[in-house]
Amino acid sequence: MPTHHNTAVIHLRRFALACLPLALTACASTTPRPAQTVPLQVLVPILYATDRDIVDTANPEKFYGAGRADMSYGVATVALSTRKQGESAVADWSRWQARDTNPKNRNELLSIDTMAKRTFGQYLDSKVADAADRSVLVYIHGYSRKFDTAARNMAVLAYEMDFRGVPVLYSWPSKGSPLAYADDAESLQQSTAHLLAFLRELVTERDVDTVHVAAHSMGNRGLLKALVKLVQDQDVNADWKFGEIVLFAPDVGEVTFQRQYLPLLQNLESRTTIYVSAVDVPLRTSTKVNSSRRIGDANEYVFVVDGIETVDITTVTRAIGAHSAYRGNPELQADLYYLINQRLPADDRPTLLPVDSERGRYWSAREVGPRNLDPPDRRP
């Protein structure tokens, strides 16, 4: 696609990108600190809501199954390996509690503590009150995800983008198998009412300033359907608390999106950001299976429409990791830091370069510098 970059703008953005570490350390204390030993694992607690059935209470990784049940709430504690994580330019391991007992060099779901709905709400309010940012980030996973995998993915997302609020997972009953695409699509459809009720409660009953939402792949279908209903809710609209709406590799048909969801998103107070890639093999397969081009698939062209910010991550990903780049790509993690933590539009984020195509402007992800296992300690 033809591009028309202004050379001076590109040089300025490259300069800003080179200064990224300085920008991130601007608020750090000038007093030297003693060196700290990086722990092998850190503990990342994830609040969750799910309509999965309970299968094995003795085993955290098999606690929830693929069957449907009434809503369940609680906290899932994930141990993240700092050796496997930490490539993000913005991650800060010192924010989290080190795992002192039997640490391992892998990510694992350590424990699940269930709560009654009322207790969960009170606990969430208390965590928000203690957070640096009085916000929550609700993540809705895609297809072929078991609960333990989704919990680990949420923990990685919160850790590597250094989210300053409270991370919350909504997990629907995916079968966790790549062969169950049609079954998962039906299951997500049945879970949309529960997701809608959960999001509504967050913005109308909980003591939260802002609710950011992010969905991956097929999970975007449930989020978009829920947003349609939420926009029609007078109580929700009376005090609209939704902040950033993030669509990772959305497995949503282009025609469906433009007809059913685009007008709604263009008129919201919230900003919508779509992350796409030309080397996303699962989305290319979905395009063939559904006989409908997916908006996250940038193989033929980048999906660009007014009122939506589209970020192409093709240049910083490989085909093997493009579909799930949100949970392991340092360029994307740094961009999410600016998008969600700083609430900056695409034109103001040093992690991106503008691309003016025949279809309109979108943004391309750029390298963010050295990938260190030891994220910089940038806070006093």
**Does the pLDDT value for residue 251 go beyond 70?**
yes
**Does the pLDDT value for residue 26 go beyond 50?**
no
First CA to last CA across the chain, in angstroms? 46
The pLDDT > 90 percentage for the chain reads 79
What pLDDT is recorded for position 262? 96
Tell me the C-alpha distance between 127 and 183, whole Å: 35
Confidence of residue 369 (pLDDT cuts 50, 70, 90): low
State pLDDT tens for residues 110-168. Answer: 999 999 999 999 999 999 999 988 999 999 999 999 999 999 999 999 999 999 999 99
What pLDDT is recorded for position 86? 63
Q: Residue 214: left if φ>0, alpha if ψ -120 to 50, beta else—which one?
A: beta
pTM for this entry: 0.87
The one-letter code for the residue type at 376 is P
Tell me the C-alpha distance between 126 and 115, whole Å: 14
What pLDDT is recorded for position 36? 65
State pLDDT tens for residues 288-329. Answer: 999 999 999 999 999 999 999 999 999 998 888 899 988 878
- Mean pLDDT value of segment 284-291: 92
Domains belonging to the chain, first-starting first, are 38-365 (3.40.50.1820)
